[in-house]
Copies of this chain bind each other. A is one copy, B any other.
């Protein structure tokens, strides 16, 4: 996860002035900032250098070009998710969904998200890294909680958990990404979770007919 051209342990740099690690951070941060409000193609190396307060040579010393720069920057977006343990399955799912909503209401990451969706078409590697670092870990958390839901008999044993995640996350992301008005409120997460859990719960045989 260090910058591209960083010294490998096998060939430790000994001579001369060492690279300033703070500059790596400044460059990646500037990259994310510019990526957020301009998109991939609008992002220029010169703007990154200027915003980071860094010479272009310093930047090119670390990254071979825009593509690798953005890939490395995006890879830093992964974050340890907030802990909500202790609560029940239902409340934990609500908390996870709600954290998506809150994040999309303000953060840098939310602005970068649609940019990557577009840039990912030409840059599979870029999308892959983002998926691995950001999307997959979040997804794994959902799956884990849902699995506990199965164990506790809250969900049918035969439900496809990946599908269940789609049912939960899909509407929330859709609201933020596409149908932005009116802004979803904090009650949306609970609503989605309750409806989805109800749909996937073990069904008592008291309803007269099978599915239509």
By a CB distance below 8 angstroms, the chain B residues around A170 are 170-175
Q: Is the CB of B117 within 8 A of A121?
A: no
Report if A212-B88 is in contact (Cβ < 8 Å); known contacts: A167-B171, A174-B166.
yes
Distance between A156 CB and nearest chain B CB, rounded to angstroms: 11
Interface string of A29-57 (1 = CB under 8 A from B): 00000000111111000000000000000
Interface string of A105-130 (1 = CB under 8 A from B): 00000010011011111100000000
Within 8 Å of chain B (Cβ to Cβ): is A199?
Answer: yes
Interface string of A172-183 (1 = CB under 8 A from B): 111101110000
Partner of A121, one of B40, B114, B122, B179: B114
Distance between A175 CB and nearest chain B CB, rounded to angstroms: 6
Name the residue of chain B whose CB is nearest to the CB of A188: B163
Q: Is the CB of A200 within 8 A of B206?
A: no
Q: Is the CB of A90 within 8 A of B191?
A: no
By a CB distance below 8 angstroms, the chain B residues around A154 are 212
**Complex CA–CA separation, A122 to B39 (angstroms):** 10
Q: Is the CB of B163 within 8 A of A191?
A: yes
Name the residue of chain B whose CB is nearest to the CB of A162: B179
Within 8 Å of chain B (Cβ to Cβ): is A144?
Answer: no
By a CB distance below 8 angstroms, the chain B residues around A37 are 121-122
**Complex CA–CA separation, A88 to B212 (angstroms):** 10
Q: A88-B212, A171-B171 are in contact. List 5 more A-B contacts (CB 8 A).
A: A117-B118, A167-B192, A173-B174, A195-B200, A198-B211
